[in-house]
């Protein structure tokens, strides 16, 4: 599984990942999860905001890729971020500067989430 696939899975985006995700509170378990996930978008902001509210750390996932990965329970180390950046096609000139890479990576992850069925507000994509 690719690193980005792990992010999709943690957010319940995509039919295979949604089938493995726990049922949503208030949603009957008889509802076929893959069909529902394939049709509707996932409200990524609500999911992440909910995770942040119940997390003991104050994580700013809206601006920090490190905080976003921590919130999702994924490895946020520099080597993991470099792996994710390479997977998403980060330009070589940004890979050598971790701050530039992190900023590029945060935007790229949000854009890729939107392309894969995540409902991301325009202000987070700019």
pTM above 0.95, yes or no: no
Share of the chain above pLDDT 90, in %: 64
pLDDT at 1: 75
**Greater pLDDT, 40 or 93:** 93
Of 9, 5, 7, 11, nearest in space to 119 by CA: 11
pLDDT at 40: 58
pLDDT at 87: 95
Tokens found for residue 116:
């894969």
- Cβ neighbours of residue 31 under 8 Å, at least 6 residues apart? none
Computed over every residue of the chain, the mean pLDDT equals 83
Query: SS3 string of the chain?
Result: CCHHHHHHHHHCCCHHHHHHCCCCCCCCCCCCHHHHHHHCCECHHHHHHHHHHCCCCCCCCCCCHHHHHHHCCCCCCHHHHHHHHHHHCCCHHHHCCHHHHHHHHHHHHHHHHHHCCECCCHHHHC
Q: What is the pLDDT of residues 56-85, one digit of tens each?
A: 999 999 999 999 999 999 999 999 999 999
């Amino acid at each position: 599984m690719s690193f980005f696939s792990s992010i999709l899975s943690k957010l319940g985006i995509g039919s295979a990942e949604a089938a493995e995700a726990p049922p949503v509170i208030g949603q009957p378990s008889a509802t076929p999860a893959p069909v529902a996930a394939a049709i509707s978008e996932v409200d990524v902001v609500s999911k992440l905001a909910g995770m942040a509210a119940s997390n003991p750390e104050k994580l700013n996932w809206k601006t920090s890729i490190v905080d976003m990965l921590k919130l999702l329970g994924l490895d946020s180390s520099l080597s993991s971020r470099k792996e994710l950046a390479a997977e998403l096609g980060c330009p070589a000139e940004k890979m050598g500067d971790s701050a530039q890479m992190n900023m590029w990576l945060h935007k790229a992850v949000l854009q890729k989430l939107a392309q894969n069925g995540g409902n991301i507000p325009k202000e987070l994509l700019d």
